[in-house]
Structure 1
Amino acid sequence: MSTQHSDDHKDPAQAPRLRVLLGEVTAMGPGKAMLLDAIRDKGSISAAARSVGMSYRRAWDLVETMNQSFREPVITTAKGGSGGGGAQITEFGETVLARYRDMERKACEALRDELHAFADFLAEDHKP
């Protein structure tokens, strides 16, 4: 009988939520990573915020926190106007995001069996 649960890390209820702290500030976490993905896909902070169900103000706050937390900007922006504005993830931001996603994957793999066993403690209506 195998003890491998290879799909557990794909279930958000079975996934650890990794946050990288810089003092009291979260430099990177699940919401910021999701926002970076959306900015890459949408090309603007406002469109990215809408696509992930986040307010524009919250998205801007997260972008500012990330840009201040890292040694280089992770997002660059262009002001609006006749050609329109926009935002894009920088090459450095892509590297940060890739490393964060790799850490998430490794954390899920390392905790897979423990998370599966921990699910036995949950109420029936909350089990994955």
Structure 2
Amino acid sequence: MRKSSLPSLSLRIDLAPERRIGPGKIALLEQIDACGSIAAAGRALDMSYKRAWDLVDETNRICGQAAVERQTGGKNGGGAMLTPFGRSLVSRYRAIEKAAARAAQRQLAALSAEIASRPRKSKA
């Protein structure tokens, strides 16, 4: 099996019951940072503005502080930007994700080898 086909790890951080930060919310925060807009970030991730706004609102609420700050519209319309906390949240999540992937690499490779060595059942 090629290295690119190894199983991968997806990380979700449970801050408390029903309070989770995972790859979807982090990707949305990264897109907001890149696009400067919740609507544009949602479009980039193929989600509705309402879904994007709900995820931003949930992230702000579960963290107890704003990760995203909306900017009121003017001549060119409003926008959104990550707060310093929002940038820190993304950075810490990505650091935790990298550390977990490094720690799991050997086990993921072993799992992949075990799956590859088993004879595949043919479909009838």
| 1:81 Cα offset (Å) | 4.4
1:1-128 maps to which residues of 2 (within 5 A)? 14-21=7-14, 22-26=16-20, 28-119=21-112, 120-121=114-115
Give me the identity figure in percent: 37
| 1:124 Cα offset (Å) | 9.0
Structure 1 stretches of 5 or more lacking a match? 1-7
Structure 2 stretches of 5 or more lacking a match? none
Rounded Cα–Cα distance in structure 2 between residues aligned with 1:106 and 1:31: 19
Which deviates more, 115-124 or 93-102?
115-124
Greater radius of gyration (CA): 2
Tell me the C-alpha RMSD between the 2 structures.
Answer: 2.3
Report the residue type matching 1:24 in the other structure.
Answer: E
Number of matched residues? 115
Rounded Cα–Cα distance in structure 1 between residues aligned with 2:48 and 2:108: 32
TM-score (norm 1): 0.79
Rounded Cα–Cα distance in structure 1 between residues aligned with 2:57 and 2:73: 18
For the 8 Å contact 2:37–2:80, the answer to whether it is kept is yes
Cα-to-partner distance string for 1:66-121 (whole Å, 9 max, x where unaligned) = 00011320000023343311000111111111000000000100000111111232
Cα-to-partner distance string for 1:49-72 (whole Å, 9 max, x where unaligned) = 111112211111110110001132
